[in-house]
Structure 1
Amino acid sequence: MSLQHVEQPVTIAAHDGRTSLGAEFPRLANRTIVRFLSRYGILITFLAIWQVSSSAGWVNAAVLPPIDTIVTALWNGLAGGALLGDIAISLQRAGLAFAAAVAVAIPLGLFMGQVRAIETALDPILQVFRQTSALALYPVFILLLGLGEASKVFVIFWATLFPLLLNTISGVKQVDPKLLEMARVYGATRLTAFRRVVLPGAVPSIFVGLRLSATTALLLLIASEMIGANKGIGFQVMNAQYNFQIPLMFAAIVILAGLGLIANQALVSLQRRLCRWSNPID
């Protein structure tokens, strides 16, 4: 048998492989496009309707500017540095308050979830505080702490504390009692059972509380910066509205939305890494 006859089947097989890949690529591309449109199609349609209706004069462009005008204002504010300082101070306020809430709520929630007597004693006052709006208490915080950074950080801390605290308590109480009983049967101490059973079982619920608290932190950040602040994204929203700089106002709102999406996605990614046995809530 000649060398030419030996190489011929190989050549045909390689040709069939390329044909198969060529036929598979359009199918994969169509599947990707369908998946993308099923997730973002409504959002894209909403933005397209906004752009067309504003550009065509169907709505007042001075009140609802076109999307491209908002994007231009956003780019000018970021490239020129006008909004970077506001973003930094807003992240500092929200970050300090969120970190303080995490440092207080998670240990307290784990303790209350484990010790029923402590939960029974603290639950009434916590429910009263939880049902009292943080914005309603903001004037009290201003009287006590002044119009400076302390009152702004504290009102954000107050609002973010309770979602995380209650979700932590709920996560501890929802741990399967049979797992705890099995740990005791195998001779695990109370501390070992807490580290190996209670804490891992409560982590998914804690992450739900973290995501709720992160969203609440940004909401209260806007409100606190609209009162008595001269710097921050919330201040820029109000200042642009007062000066009728509507594209800049919407640009600041887009930044707030982007910060919220980034924070939520970061927590979802961290939950997936730490809770491989659990499906995180998207």
Structure 2
Amino acid sequence: MAESTTVSKSFQGSLNEAGKRRGELRGWGLLLSRRLYIILRNSVSIGAFLLLWELIPRYGLQDNTFLPPLSAILQTWWELLLSGDLTDHAAASLTRSFGGFALALVFSIPIGLAIGWWKRVSELLNPLLELFRNTAALAILPVFILLLGLGETSKIAIVFYACVFPLLLNTISGVRNVDPLLIKSARSMGLSPVLLFRKVIIPASIPTIFVGVRQSAASSILVLVAAEMVGAKEGLGYLIQYTQFSFQIKEMYAGIITISFIGLVLNYVLVFVERKLTAWKQAIGDH
């Protein structure tokens, strides 16, 4: 009788374990289906745009000399990639772009935190910030070229300049818009000013700071492409301008598509990093 009871319990345990596994598999299946649905839903407009790009020149609605079909452009893009030309130009652009962007991160975020939190620093630096932030980066590109030459330094400097102000302004805004109740609660718990800044102000500012990070990342590519059209011998901006002047239209579009793809990937990477750094905020929202 005891053996029968033991076998029965073991069998029941196996059934329960199998039921749990089926439940987990069903849950994963539902999650995967939901994600696929979201991806498809968000891709409808892009798919429609790409389809129109393919069909309009093929059916003579636009001269395919100036707007080749998408398939022809992608074939040219693949040929440029295999030849190594595209990777060389992209590597040159990314080196310059990430160089200026990284310098802007190191420079802007600490200063933005200081301006947002300490009134005296704000009073000292705000007038200078207001003077320069209304001057477009490309408007002073000739100044950078005159002072720093046509080499890498001027291109990294113009990217740095373009990235600084979105980062600064969003960092300042993030600090100044921290919920006052959070600050009062932290002070009531006896946190020192240093700990208050580290444990409350900086974490609460990260979502707004990342808005500036994403804006600056986009600016680092867009401004650089324009800068590379002046006095550069390599880079995606140079590739686009050179192929335009040489009437190599497919190669020109291939360069434009590459820039768009890089910007898209960079944005998704930054969104992923932001979610990881603000996981605490999402956890609170779930409750």
Interval of TM-score (by shorter of Structure 1 and Structure 2): 0.7 to 0.9
* Residue 34 (structure 1) shift: 5.0
Return the letter of the residue paired with 1:51.
E
The question of 1:42 aligning with 2:45 is answered yes
Which sections of structure 2, spanning at least 5 residues, go unmatched? Answer: 1-14, 20-26, 283-287
Closer, same or farther in 2 for the Cα pair 1:132/1:28, shift >3 Å? closer
Which sections of structure 1, spanning at least 5 residues, go unmatched? Answer: 1-12, 18-23
Identity in percent:
41
The answer for the alignment partner of 1:249 in structure 2 is 252
Closer, same or farther in 2 for the Cα pair 1:96/1:37, shift >3 Å? same
The answer for the alignment partner of 1:108 in structure 2 is 111
SS at match of 1:278: helix
The question of 1:97 aligning with 2:97 is answered no
Alignment of 1:210-249 (within 5 A): 210-249=213-252
Distance in 2 of aligned mates of 1:209 and 1:238: 29
* Residue 276 (structure 1) shift: 0.7
The answer for the alignment partner of 2:133 in structure 1 is 130
Q: Deviations over 1:120-179 (max 9, x none)?
A: 221122112111011110111111111111111111100100000110011111111222
* Residue 262 (structure 1) shift: 1.0
The question of 1:159 aligning with 2:180 is answered no
The question of 1:149 aligning with 2:152 is answered yes
The question of 1:181 aligning with 2:222 is answered no
* Residue 277 (structure 1) shift: 2.7
Distance in 1 of aligned mates of 2:127 and 2:35: 52
Large movers: runs of 4+ above 4 Å: 26-34
- After superposition, the CA RMSD in angstroms is 2.5
Closer, same or farther in 2 for the Cα pair 1:27/1:220, shift >3 Å? closer
Closer, same or farther in 2 for the Cα pair 1:174/1:53, shift >3 Å? same
Distance in 1 of aligned mates of 2:149 and 2:165: 23
Return the letter of the residue paired with 1:181.
K
The answer for the alignment partner of 2:122 in structure 1 is 119
Contact kept in structure 2, 1:164 and 1:209, CA below 8 Å: yes
Distance in 2 of aligned mates of 1:31 and 1:193: 40
Distance in 2 of aligned mates of 1:27 and 1:113: 45
Distance in 2 of aligned mates of 1:97 and 1:45: 36
SS at match of 1:83: helix
SS at match of 1:61: coil
Choose which of 262, 268, 273 in structure 1 pairs with 2:271: 268
Which range moved further: 223-232 or 182-191? 182-191
TM-score (norm 1): 0.87
The answer for the alignment partner of 1:55 in structure 2 is 58
* Residue 96 (structure 1) shift: 0.5
* Residue 68 (structure 1) shift: 0.6
Distance in 2 of aligned mates of 1:255 and 1:109: 33
Return the letter of the residue paired with 2:240.
V
TM-score (norm 2): 0.85
Choose which of 138, 143, 146 in structure 2 pairs with 1:140: 143
Distance in 1 of aligned mates of 2:30 and 2:147: 64
Contact kept in structure 2, 1:237 and 1:252, CA below 8 Å: yes
Return the letter of the residue paired with 1:241.
Q
* Residue 268 (structure 1) shift: 0.5
Contact kept in structure 2, 1:204 and 1:278, CA below 8 Å: no
* Residue 221 (structure 1) shift: 0.9
Distance in 2 of aligned mates of 1:186 and 1:31: 43
Choose which of 248, 257, 277 in structure 1 pairs with 2:280: 277
Q: Deviations over 1:98-132 (max 9, x none)?
A: 00000000000011111112112211221121110
